[in-house]
Amino acid sequence: MKIKVGINGYGTIGKRIADAVIKQPDMELVGVSKLNADYEAVTAVKKGIKLFVDENSIEKFKNAGIDFSGTKLEMIKEAQVIIDATPDGVGAKNKALYISENKPAIFQGGEEPDVADVSFSALCNYDEANGKKYVRVVSCNTTGMLRIVCALKKNFKIKKVRVVLIRRAADPREVKKGPINSIVLNPVQLPSHHADDAKTVLRDLDIFTMAYVVPTTLMHVHAMSVQVEGNPSKEEVIKTLESSRRILGISRGSGIGSTAEIIETARDIGRVRYDLPEVAFFEDSVHSSNGEIFLTYAVHQESIVVPENVDAVRAMFKLKEKEESISLTDSTLGLLRGRLI
Ligand code: NAD
C-alpha cells in the first residue's frame, strides 16, 4: 500500500519534501499546493509535479498562464496525509481545514508545539508518533541539537547540555531578509526558545541555549557543551557520533573549517541544491575532559528536516519500525554514513 501525501506550501521546505516523497517506495505524491503564482510554481509544473492552487489564487494562476491540476481542497481530499510546509503560524491556521476534512497532518517547527499531538525527531522519539494524527517536526536548529544529543545518549549518560546557536539570517532565495551587517542577539533575554523546543521531545533534558543571527545564508553553526557521567575520550565521542545515522564527521585532515567549505563539498559530491540533510560536525572541534564534551557542528537549515518528515509519515501510519524507516529514508535520499570527507 502506498500512502498518498499532499504538500501544502511549496517553498524552501515543501519543495524538498516533495522531491523526497517521490523517491519513497511506500508513498505517492498527490501534488503540492501553492498560494503564489511564482517561479517556483512554474518549476514544479515543469518537473511533472501536480500543482494545486489556493482557492483565492485561481485567477492569479490563470492570468500567469500556469497550468494547475485542481484546488488545494481537492488535493487535501485526495491525500491520506497532508504535510504542511507553509510559513510560521500559517500551519496552525490551516489545521481547522485538516480537521474538517478529517485528514492527518504533519506541521513544521515554525508552529507552536500545541499544534500537534507530539513533536518529532526521528532518532529521539520515532515511536511516540505511532498512530498520532497530528505531528510536528521540530525546527532545523532543534533537529540538529537533538540528533547530536540522542546519538550521544546511546553511549553516555547526559547530565546537561549547553548550546550557543549561530543562526543563518535567511535562506538563499530570500531577498528581503536581514541582517546584512550586524550580529543580532536572538533574543536578548536568555535562554533562547530552542531549549524549550528540545524539551518538547526530550522532556527531562537539562538544556540551556543562547542564539545569535549572523549575515549568512548557508548553514547554522552550534557550539555545544555536554556534561556526561564518566570521562569518555575524544575518540569515543567521535566514534559514537560517526556511528549514528544522519551525523557526519568532517575529518581532521580535510582542512575544512567553515560552512562555505562544507557546502562546497556538498556541491562537489553532487548533492542536488547542495543539500546536506546530515548534521556535519568537525572532528577536530571535539574536546573531552573531566566528563565534559565540547564540539562544533553545522546544520543545513534548508534540508535537515526533510528525512524527518518522511519518517513522520511512516511513524504515524505505523508503516515501518524506527530503524527500518530511517534506513529506507536514508538510502532513498542517498544520505551518507560516517564521514562527509
Ligand atoms: P517558505 O516561505 O520558503 O515557503 C512557504 C510556502 O508556503 C511558500 O510557497 C508560500 O507561497 C506558501 N504559503 C504562504 N502562505 C500560505 C498560505 N496561507 N497557504 C498556503 N501556502 C502558503 O517557508 P519555509 O522556509 O519552507 O518554512 C516552512 C515551515 O518550515 C515553517 O514552519 C518554518 O519554520 C519551517 N522550517 C523552515 C526551515 C528553513 O530553514 N527554511 C527549516 C526548518 C523548518
The DSSP line for 194-255 is HHHHHHTTSTT--EEEEEEEES-SS-EEEEEEEEESS---HHHHHHHHHTSTTEEEE-GGG-
CB 41 within 8 A of CB 72: no
CA distance 194 to 299: 14
Report residue 177's pLDDT band, with 50, 70 and 90 as the boundaries.
very high
Q: Whose CA is nearest to atom 43 of ligand 1?
A: 140
Mapping DSSP to helix (H, G, I), strand (E, B) and coil, where does residue 55 land? helix
Distance 312 CA to ligand 1 centre (A): 18
Q: Does the structure show a pLDDT above 90 at 185?
A: yes
* CATH of the domain spanning 140-303, picked from 3.40.50.300, 3.50.50.60, 3.30.360.10, 3.40.50.1820: 3.30.360.10
CA distance 315 to 217: 32
Residue 140 annotated in active site: yes
Atom of ligand 1 nearest to the CA of 301: 40
By most ligand atoms within 8 Å of CB, the mutation choice from 8, 54, 86, 141 for ligand 1 is: 86
pLDDT in tens, 146-161: 999 999 999 999 999 9
Mapping DSSP to helix (H, G, I), strand (E, B) and coil, where does residue 8 land? strand
pLDDT in tens, 263-298: 999 999 999 999 999 999 999 999 999 999 999 999
Task: Work out the average pLDDT over 173-202.
Answer: 97
Distance 282 CA to ligand 1 centre (A): 30
Atom of ligand 1 nearest to the CA of 10: 9
CA distance 43 to 317: 30
By most ligand atoms within 8 Å of CB, the mutation choice from 7, 8, 10, 12 for ligand 1 is: 12
CB 24 within 8 A of CB 18: no
Report residue 1's pLDDT band, with 50, 70 and 90 as the boundaries.
confident
Active-site residue, selected from the candidate residues 17, 49, 122, 140? 140
At residue 208, the pLDDT reads 98
CB 159 within 8 A of CB 227: yes
By most ligand atoms within 8 Å of CB, the mutation choice from 13, 193, 216, 259 for ligand 1 is: 13
Distance 88 CA to ligand 1 centre (A): 7
Report residue 12's pLDDT band, with 50, 70 and 90 as the boundaries.
very high
At residue 64, the pLDDT reads 97
- The domain segmentation of the chain, as residue ranges, is 3-138+305-333, 140-303
Average pLDDT, the chain: 98
Return the closest-CA partner of residue 121 out of 139, 103, 95. 139
Look-up: residue for cell 497550468?
67
Portion of the chain with pLDDT greater than 70, in percent:
100
Residues with CB under 6 A from ligand 1: 8-14, 34-36, 54, 85-88, 90, 108-111, 139-140, 171, 301-302, 305
Distance 21 CA to ligand 1 centre (A): 17
Distance 72 CA to ligand 1 centre (A): 16
CA distance 197 to 132: 19
At residue 188, the pLDDT reads 98
* Strand-strand pairing, 220-228 and 184-185: unpaired
CA distance 335 to 147: 15
Distance 321 CA to ligand 1 centre (A): 29
Indicate the class that CATH gives domain 3-138+305-333.
Answer: alpha beta
